[in-house]
Amino acid sequence: MSTGLLITVSLLGIALVMLVWFAFRLHKQVRSEQMLRAEAEKSKQQIIVEQTRNRQLKQEMTSNIAHELKTPVSSIRGYLEILLGDKPVDEEQRHYFLERCYSQTLRLSNLINDVSLINKLEEAQDLFTKESVDVRILAEEAMVELAQSAEEHHITILDELPSNIVVTGNSMLIYSIFRNLIENAIVHAGDGVTVGMDCYQPEDEGHYYIHLYDTGRGVDNEYLPRLFDRFLRIDEGRSRKSGGTGLGLSIVKHAVMFHGGDIYAKNRDGGGLEFFFSLKKT
């Protein structure tokens, strides 16, 4: 074989190798672009799904808020129409109607505060400051705040929490956990029951594990998976009579999650409802 032919064959071989290499690189690049497009489309769909879900949740919450506002606003309007009407109202009735108006304004104020807190927990958690917090002190403050209500319902509150539960967290949110859980028991568990707090398992390096229970009536098992939903009404009449906003347990769940923990509820053996939740130490 002549030298020229050898050179030609070699050049053809090199060209073939280069062609294969370029084809491989092109295929790899096309595949990569296809994967990127597929990933981008997947992310886009996830964003659309999340936006749709958030929009539905906001619409649902707006509808629920409007529904919750309707009753107190209608009550206030009705009482004021009587007071401002042409028909004479004696002093005892006048005082009663004004008391009812005041009670309904408190309910409106609580609803506004709870809605604001929920929105802040969901969309602006960085606005909550963190510091070293003594959990038991906050639990005791909630007990003192609710002592009169507990006494009216002949409810005994047992505090068996250890004294060394210290976390890095937000004191207002941790206080709201205990206040809402204790208040929920006072309102729904029934009269003459016991509400207790303790630790359901030893602490570990990362978390404390807290147990809050009552010895009352419990709830139907069908409601347990939805117990932390906003505006859930298990006992419609009693919930409205208590002036609750229907957001208390939802706030509890968000506050626990804010502190790196988890929470669940179940009906207690022997009667009542119990909550198990954890709080991250730092």
Here the tokens at position 259 are 């502190």
Q: pTM of this prediction?
A: 0.72
- Please check the confidence at residue 236 and state whether its pLDDT lies above 90: no
For 183-231, write each residue's pLDDT tens digit. 999 999 999 999 999 998 888 889 999 999 999 989 988 888 889 988 7
Q: Where are the domains of the chain?
A: 1-127, 131-280
Cβ pair 179, 142 in contact under 8 A: yes
Q: Which residues pair with 132 in a beta bridge?
A: 168
CATH of 1-127, one of 1.10.287.130, 1.10.3260.10, 1.10.3720.10, 3.40.50.1980: 1.10.287.130
- Under DSSP, is residue 248 helix (H, G, I), strand (E, B) or coil? helix
Q: Do 1-127 and 131-280 fold alike per CATH?
A: no
pLDDT class of 1 with cuts at 50, 70, 90: low
Report the alpha-carbon distance of residue 253 to residue 263 in Å, rounded: 7
For 81-107, write each residue's pLDDT tens digit. 999 988 888 899 999 999 999 989 988
Q: Spelled out in words, what is the top-level CATH class assigned to the domain 131-280?
A: alpha beta
**Residue 243, Cα to own-chain centre: how many angstroms?**
20
